[in-house]
Structure formats: C-alpha cells, structure tokens
Structure 1
Amino acid sequence: MGIKIIVDSACDLPKSYLEENNVELLSLKVLYNEKEYDDMVSIQAKEVFDAMREGAVIKTSQAAPTQAKEVFENIAKNKESAIYIAFSSELSGTYQMAMLMKNDVLEEYPGLDVTIINTKGASLGIGLIVKRAVELANIGASKEEIIAEVEKYVAQMEYVFTVDNLDYLARGGRVSKASAFVGGLLNIKPLLHMEDGKLIPIEKIRGRKKVLRRMVDLMKERGGSFENQTIAISHGDDEETALVLKEMIQTETGANDFYIHSIGSAIGAHAGPGTIALFFLNKDYF
C-alpha cells in the first residue's frame, strides 16, 4: 500500500490534480457575505477576486478540526501511512489544529501513522512540495524517503512575490492604511519573501515592469540549476502577467519546466487580485 498524501487548500494546486492523485484535501474557510465557504470546494478564487475589486473584505480561518479528525480516523481505520504537508504555522492555525487532532485520534487509535510537516510556506511553494511527494509516492518510495525529500524541499524553497494593490494588504493589517495610500499614489509595488514561515518585505519598487525585473534578478541570485527544476508562478487572476514573467525567466535562465496556476481563495483573500508569486529551489538544493 502506497503512502497517502494530505494537504490543505493553501497549496493552490487545482482540485482536479488532487483528485487524480488521490491526495486528501483539508479546506481552509473563507468568510464572505456573512457565509462560510470551503476553499476550493464551495467557493473559487475568481469569485473572491471579483468581490475584492468591488471593495469586499474577505476573511479566512483555519481548516475545520472535525474534517482533520475524520481524515486521520479514516487513515487509522484503513491502516494507511500518511504525510500531511501543511500551510505555514506562522500564517494559519491549521498546522497546530492538525497536531491537536492527531493527538486526539491517537488516544483511540494508537496505531495512527500520520506525519505532519510544517512547510513554513504557502501557495505553489507548497504545491511544488506536494507534487514532488506525489511523484515519489507514485513510484513506491518509502515514507522515510518521501519525508527526507519533502524536508529538503521545505528548507530550500524560495518564495518571492509582489502585490498589485497595497490596499488589500492594508485591509488584512499587513501594512498601514497610510502606507497603502501613499504607495498607491506613487505606484509603489512591494516585493516580499518568506523567512521562517513569515512574510517579510524585501524592498519597495516603483512600477510593475521594474518589480518583475527585480523578481527575475532575485531568482538568478538565489536559485540554481534552473533547467533541472520546475518553476512555479501563481497569480491573482492575472495570467497575462504570469506569462510575461515566465517568458522573462525562460529567456534569461534556460528554465523550460513551468507550473502556472491561480492563487486560491484563502491565500488570495489576503494578497488580492494582481498578485504575482514566484517559487523555485535555491542553490543549496543542488
């Protein structure tokens, strides 16, 4: 019996991919119009982005403990071995909740075999980790081999992203409203990355073209062996810009394997439409 992979909806992989590869999904919650939705299941990113453009404030919360508990109970009952590749504990309570539910299930099912890994990441950074884990599981790799590779990916994954409108980060409390106002007037685009699971600003750049240029430069500085890895780009309902970034990277690095997909509802509710995020393995992986 193969290793079961579990992931939450912060991975931003399409639901069709998860279903085709028998990956178990835990949905984060999206709160909109006084209703609660399951990310990737009962609400889609396009609806969230359109609402945000019209001024709606979308809130999110962690995956439901009842869902995680049910998934873990089924793993135990079926005597399966599983790995849950989780959203950064610095950005959501989902990881901590899963640890609590695992301990609850262990009381009734002491043989439960679930390893929970904190990716300290988000979006297609997690998605690339999941895809690698699925590749290994599909060729019959052992749980220990998959965990070792997942942890290596976690340690060496780079996250570089920009948002198109600072107002969306201001609504979520990520920047002050005054900073968002001034940034909007000056066409300032913040460049951010992930450090130990947290969102950290790198610099502020004036203009969309310049920020894309800087993203490519940072990738060249930090990354390595681009022709031997998948480069992921996620976007907030802006595939056109994602494709521009892809072409820039392809021209300058020789990379030829790309994975492009929309940011999901839960991540998109904070980043907003127009967000562009880039994910790749750094030099230390190779």
Structure 2
Amino acid sequence: MSIKILSDSACDLSKEIIEEYNIDILPIIVIKGDEEYLDNVTITPEKVYEDMRNGQTYKTAQIPPNAFSDKFSEYAKNGDSIIYIAFSSGLSGTYQTSLFVRESILEEYPNFDLDIVDTKAASGGFGLIVLQAAKLAKEGKSKEEILKAIEFYKENIEHIFTVDDIEYLFRGGRVSRVQAFVGGLLNIKPVLHVADGKLVPLEKVRGRHKVFKCMLDLMEDRTKNANLSEQVIGITHGDDLEGALKLKELIIERFGAEKFVINMIGASIGAHSGPGTIALFFLRENYEN
C-alpha cells in the first residue's frame, strides 16, 4: 500500500512540487480585520505582502479541528495509510489540534493508519522534510523508512533567516518597541534561527551584504560534517526573488552547491515575518538514503 503525505501550508512548497509529489496540503487561516482567508487558496502571498507594504496588518489562526476531522475521515473511509507532517508545535497549535482530532477519529475507525509528526520546523526547513518524505513515498518506500528519514531531517535541519524590517518582529512580539525603533534607524538586520521549534535571535548586522555573509558563515560553521554540493538547499523569500537568487549565487560560489528549492514564503508565515524576509535551510549532515 502506498503512503500518502499530508501537510499544511506553512511548509512553503511550490504548487509544482506539491502536484508532482501528490502532497495533500491543509491551509492555515490568514486574517485581515474581520475577514478570514485560506493561505494560498483564497489569498496569495503576493497580496499579503502588498498590503503589508501599504500598512495593513495580518494575523493567522491554526487549522480548525473540523478541517482535520473532514480530512482524516476521508482517508479513514478509503483505508489509506497516512503521515501528517506538521508545522512546528513551538510556533503553532496545529500539531496539538491534529492529535486531539486523531483520537476522536480512531474511536470511529480504530484501524485507521495515521502517524503525526511534529517537525519543529517552519517554512523551507519544514518544506524540505515534507519533500523528502513525499519523494520516498513516491518511490514506494515503507512507512517505517519514511518516518526514519523524517526523523533524520528533523534532527539535522537548520534554519537561518533575516527580516528586512524589524518592525514586523516587534508586531509579532519578537523584539521590543525600542529595539524595533533603533534597529529601523540604524538599518540593523537581525539574523535568527529555529531552536527546538522556536525562533531565536542570533546576530544583529547592519546592511544586507553583511547579513548574507553572516548567514553563509553560520552555514559553514554548522555543516562541518556535510557536503553541501550533495544536498538540496532551501531558500524562501518574502516577495524578494532578487534577494533569494543573490543568496543562491553566493552559496554556489562558496560551497559549490548545485541543487536548490526556492519559493516564496506563504501568508501563514509571511504575515509575521513581513516582505523582504530571506530564509536559508540545509542539513548539518547529509542524508544517506
């Protein structure tokens, strides 16, 4: 029996990849005022970034229980074998909701074969985990093999990112009003990573050129046991393809990397990080299939 991969829109994979690997995606809710939208379904990231540049504020809400219930019931009725790969529990309550709904579905369908994984990852790091699982599923690998690969990626995935306007981190509670004000005046770009599924500041750098150098220095320091030319490197951006391509060029020059997945950050994360965000994802150690 083939394994079906279910995930959510915070994985920031392109429509082409989602279709090629038959990944099922549940959209996170995006909110502007009294209006609710479904990430990448009824609202596009481009629209969100355009509005944010014009002073609009967006919020997000986790996937509601009924969405999980409908999807899980559909799979259970079909007798499908499922892995739901979830957005970090440190950044969203979606994972916990899925566990709660699974228990109620199992009461009705006790033989439903469903595994749920908290990736402790976000955006392109989350996406690389989902993509690897979907590739293995397409190759006909067993559920045990796929779950083992997911666990390896979870333990080794690195996230390094920067935001263009520190104001958005203030709105999300990541920096104080004073830090945001001073950072804006001085053109300070924070460099952050994800630790145990949560956002953690690392450095404060002035100007994008120095930010990219800092990101690459961190990449080098964290991949001493890896060959980056054999990895798929993830880059996501907040409506700044030019910046993403510049970072790609620098990575190729410095590390000889050859394989990249580049995509726009979806509304579910972009609503908090803002336009101009650039994020980099890679493995500390190479995965051996």
Which of the five TM-score ranges fits, normalised by the shorter chain?
Answer: over 0.9
How big is the shift at 1:15? 3.0
What does residue 193 of structure 1 align with?
193
What does residue 267 of structure 1 align with?
269
Contact 2:227/2:286 (<8 A) preserved: no
Rounded to whole Å, the distance in 2 between the matches of 1:19 and 1:251 is 31
What does residue 179 of structure 2 align with?
179
How far does the alpha carbon of each residue in 1:162-182 deviate from its partner, in whole angstroms, 9 at most, with x for none? 001010111122211211010
What does residue 6 of structure 2 align with?
6
How big is the shift at 1:284? 7.1
1:256 aligns with 2:258: yes
1:277 aligns with 2:261: no
1:233 aligns with 2:235: yes
Rounded to whole Å, the distance in 2 between the matches of 1:51 and 1:173 is 20
What does residue 28 of structure 2 align with?
28
The code of the aligned residue for 1:128 comes to: L
The residue matched to 1:161 in structure 2 has which SS? strand
How far does the alpha carbon of each residue in 1:209-231 deviate from its partner, in whole angstroms, 9 at most, with x for none? 10111101111111221011100
How far does the alpha carbon of each residue in 1:146-173 deviate from its partner, in whole angstroms, 9 at most, with x for none? 0000110011000000001010111122
1:70 aligns with 2:70: yes
Stretch moving more, 268-277 or 221-230: 221-230
**What RMSD in Å do the two structures reach over aligned CA positions?**
1.1
What does residue 246 of structure 1 align with?
248
The code of the aligned residue for 1:281 comes to: L
The residue matched to 1:218 in structure 2 has which SS? helix
Unaligned runs of 5+ in 2: none
Contact 2:12/2:124 (<8 A) preserved: yes
Give the TM-score, by structure 1 length.
0.98
What does residue 43 of structure 2 align with?
43
How big is the shift at 1:57? 1.1
What does residue 89 of structure 1 align with?
89
How big is the shift at 1:285? 5.2
Contact 1:159/1:280 (<8 A) preserved: yes
How far does the alpha carbon of each residue in 1:79-103 deviate from its partner, in whole angstroms, 9 at most, with x for none? 1111011000010000000000101
How big is the shift at 1:134? 1.0
Rounded to whole Å, the distance in 1 between the matches of 2:22 and 2:71 is 13
How big is the shift at 1:133? 0.7
Rounded to whole Å, the distance in 1 between the matches of 2:258 and 2:20 is 24
The code of the aligned residue for 2:198 comes to: K
Rounded to whole Å, the distance in 1 between the matches of 2:27 and 2:243 is 28
Rounded to whole Å, the distance in 1 between the matches of 2:174 and 2:286 is 30
The code of the aligned residue for 1:257 comes to: K
Rounded to whole Å, the distance in 2 between the matches of 1:19 and 1:54 is 33
Give the TM-score, by structure 2 length.
0.97
Contact 2:7/2:84 (<8 A) preserved: yes
How far does the alpha carbon of each residue in 1:102-123 deviate from its partner, in whole angstroms, 9 at most, with x for none? 0110111101111000000100
Rounded to whole Å, the distance in 1 between the matches of 2:207 and 2:57 is 25
The code of the aligned residue for 1:83 comes to: I
The residue matched to 2:97 in structure 1 has which SS? helix
